[in-house]
Amino acid sequence: MSKQRSFNVTDLPGFTTIAILAFLALYAPILTLVVYSFNDASSITVWGGFSLRWYEIAWQNTAVKEATLRSLIIATSASVIATTVATLAALGTTRTAPFKGQTAIYAMINQPLMVPEIVTAVALLIFFGIIKKATDYLGLGYLIAAHAAFCVPFAYLPIRARLEGMDLSLETAAADLYANRWMTLRRITLPLLAPGIAAGAMLAFVISLDDVVITEFVKTGGQETLPTYMLGQMRRAISPEVNAISTGLLALTVLLLTAFFLLTRRRD
């Protein structure tokens, strides 16, 4: 009797062609953006030779520097808050016995993923508008709180997935050795959970750094972030400077992904 061959999707006719076309559709626009960020011409569609001109212009632009610094402050603060809340929520929904309402809590935590972002933005606009009127506070706290609330489910999912994949025998062994819950959490659970926490923090940071819709609704005058600044520039006149700024953001994202990959591989 001949041995039955296992199914492999790569053996299907046209798999390689479809895979190449899919990668081209995903990365050809990004590659075009990167190439044209080095364009010497003032047009974004006509190649005028290689130059770092638009990077120099973006570097010398005070508004770009201020928007970049503001974006980094908001994204860092929001990711720290969101990751902390997500870690506590993940521990509370996975390291406990099943209880009534657990599914509802899971759905509520992930609600920002299911509701259109514009709805969340309008709700935050109204909510923070009431607070602004009552307190007269107009600082960055609103943007940080809004981004943190929106980023919680993005941090929660990888952290919960890591917890569900962890072996409980080590925590059980720690309890058998008379370790209390706090010591078990600090010495066993959190070190093993670190790659998931890093993944959640990185994802929350990138989502916050890239957000436009919520930022546009919540921010007040003089609180432009880098994405909203770029959007405003494109409304006035499309300049190759935007290509240079976008390439810088892309480089930062790739750097974060590389760092996370190295961290995860070392942890594993």
Query: Model confidence over 68-77: pLDDT tens digits?
Result: 899 999 999 9
Residue-range domain boundaries for the chain: 61-267
CATH of domain 61-267: 1.10.3720.10
Measured distance CA(152)–CA(89) in Å, rounded: 9
Query: Model confidence over 172-197: pLDDT tens digits?
Result: 777 767 777 778 777 777 888 888 88
pTM of the model: 0.82
